[in-house]
Every structure is written in structure tokens, then in C-alpha cells.
Structure 1
Amino acid sequence: MSQRIAVYTGSFDPVTLGHLHIIHRASQLFDVLVVGIGINKDKQPLFTPQERVDLVEQVTADLPSVRVQTFDDLAVDFVRRCDAKVMVRGIRPMTDVAGEFTMLMANRQLDHSIETVFLMADDRFAHVSSSLLKQIAQMSDDDERLARFVPREIIPAIRKRQAERNATKQP
């Protein structure tokens, strides 16, 4: 019997508690969960692709069925390369549904053999986004506040990157 492989794609810049919650849940549903870190050359990420891989691997080290890889093409092509037939998507507030539905329909046109499974965000994480936590990290030096949104293990990396960026902005 072949393994049930699923792929969860996103930018994970950085990985949030919401992402991690979806990863934990999806890893219980499939034999292998590939976390696909998308590289969008038009965006200015906080972390490099390799740093994002390292951070996700750090917070999922206790999940032996999770693999982390980068991709820079269409998600359906990446899913196919992973020998998967399922794409996992996390849904936060209802405003995510329209965009995710549009993506699902486009992905079906590109590869009708790939199914999309939606996992609703836990209410504790429904409001958490990478952009929100970047704002909080920038405006507050309270690590306890930041720990409400990201795994504690990655807070030092966020603070270090924040300090590096602030140092380059100084005249």
C-alpha cells in the first residue's frame, strides 16, 4: 500500500502558531506531510528561503512524518513532484474562503487529480498572520506578547533579523 502524502504550501515568513497547528493536525491525517515553502521573487521576505526551512524544521522536529522543502513554481506542480494527490490549506477567517476557493478552482483546472483539503484554524489562531506578527515584533520588544503568535523557539531569530534591519536603517 502506498503512502498517503499531502502538501501544505505557504510562505511561512515566519512560521506562526497557526501554521504549526495546521501542520500538527495534517500530520496526523497523512503518512507524510510536506511543508512547501513558496518563494515569491516579487516579495521582500523577512527570512531567506533556507532560513524559513530551518525555522520550520526546528519547530516540527518532533513530527517525524513532516518534510520541509522550498519551491518557486506553481503549487500544483510542486505537489505533483512530491508524489502527492492532496494539498492542505488552512482557513482563518471567512474572508479567506473566497480567495482559497478561487485558488482551488484554478488548481483543479491545472491538475484535476489533486484534491484540496481545508482545515479550519482553531479560534485561538484565526487572527494570526505573518504580517500581523511582523508588526507586533517591530512595535513591541515584549517576547511574551510575540509568543502568543509564534513558537518561542523562533523568537530569537525574529529579534536578530529585526535588529539587523534596524541597523541598516540607521544613518
Structure 2
Amino acid sequence: MKVAVYPGSFDPITLGHLDIIRRASVMFDKLIVVVMKNSAKTSLFSPDERVKMIEDCVGDLDNITVDSYDGLLIDYCKKEQIHIVLRGLRAITDFEYELQIAQTNRELSHNNVDTVFLTTNLIYSYLSSSSVKEIAGYDGDVSGMVTENVLERLREKYGHNSKGN
């Protein structure tokens, strides 16, 4: 069985993330989406909130599970006996950063973990969780960037009652 892990902060999950998840769901027998703690970022949503949002978004995909982990991805892979990491790429700048992480993970795993990259659909190439939070924080319209359940959670977090227009 081909199992892959798709790690990220997913704070919040965007349509770009979902595009990668849906496409990967037909490539792998099982895909585990893992909410990771990123010490370099300040999170808007708790790990449990992010797991719930992702579960709500992928509930129609029966080969997707959602988990959270606070530690090194390579330790999660070892614990779960996973040998494939999935990452999405938006631009060449993503590649430079992701390549370094992929090479580090491969070295730390003693060559037992490989990284597979999927390029983001062009319509989502501009999209990031950071930009979604920035726009939503100012009550801007992010309805074309996230699912309805995520949009509702953003409104709750920021205390906006408008439609985000």
C-alpha cells in the first residue's frame, strides 16, 4: 500500500491545499494530512481547530486521514512507518526552500524518506494561508480562497459578521 504524508501548518487550509490533497488522493492508497507546529509562525487556529477544519473539507475522500504532530516530521514518518512526504509548490522560491527540507529529511531518515512535489494549480499559485489571514483580518473577501466552513471559522476568529466583501 502506498502511503504518503502531507504536512503543513494549514492555518487555515486553503483551496490550494485542497487541490493538492484531492489530486494526491488518487495517487496514493492513503494520504495522511498532518497539522505540524511551525515555531517560526504565530498560529491563528489551534491544532485541534485546524484538524477539524481539514476533516470537514475532506470528509468525502475515504482514503484521507488527518492528524497533528508537534515535533520533527521525520520522527512522525518513522513512528508511522511512512516513506513518502508530499509537498506542494507554487513558485520557484517554494522549490528552493522545499528542496533543502527534502534533502534534510532524506539525510535524517538515513535515505528512508523521499519527497514528492506537486505543482499547485495555476489558479491557486498566489494563495497562501498567511495572505488569507491578512485579508480576512481586515474583513476582506476570501470566499474564493477557502471553503465555506473555513470562511465561517475565520469570521468567528476575527469577529466579522459581514460576508467578507
So what's the TM-score if we normalise by structure 1? Answer: 0.89
* 2:103 is aligned with 1:93: no
Gaps of 5+ in 1: 165-171
**Does the CA contact (< 8 Å) of 1:5 and 1:83 recur in 2?**
no
Gaps of 5+ in 2: 161-165
The answer for the alignment partner of 2:149 in structure 1 is: 153
Matched pairs, number: 159
Q: How has the CA–CA distance of structure 1 residues 42 and 101 changed in structure 2, closer, same or farther, with 3 Å as cutoff?
A: closer
Q: Partners in 2 of 1:49 and 1:160 — Cα distance?
A: 16
For residues 21-170 of structure 1, the aligned pairs below 5 Å read 21-41=19-39, 43-111=41-109, 112-141=111-140, 145-163=141-159
Instruction: Give deviations 1:80-99, integer Å, cap 9, x for gaps.
Output: 22221100000011110110
Q: Secondary structure at the match of 1:56?
A: helix
Alpha-carbon RMSD: 1.4
For residues 6-17 of structure 1, the aligned pairs below 5 Å read 6-17=4-15
Give the share of equivalent positions with the same residue, in percent.
36
Aligned-pair distance for 1:40?
Answer: 3.0
Aligned-pair distance for 1:152?
Answer: 1.7
Letter in 2 for 1:128: L
Mean Cα deviation higher: 145-154 or 50-59: 145-154
Q: Partners in 1 of 2:18 and 2:72 — Cα distance?
A: 23
Letter in 1 for 2:116: V
Q: Partners in 2 of 1:18 and 1:57 — Cα distance?
A: 16
Letter in 2 for 1:119: L
Q: Partners in 1 of 2:131 and 2:67 — Cα distance?
A: 24
Letter in 1 for 2:129: S
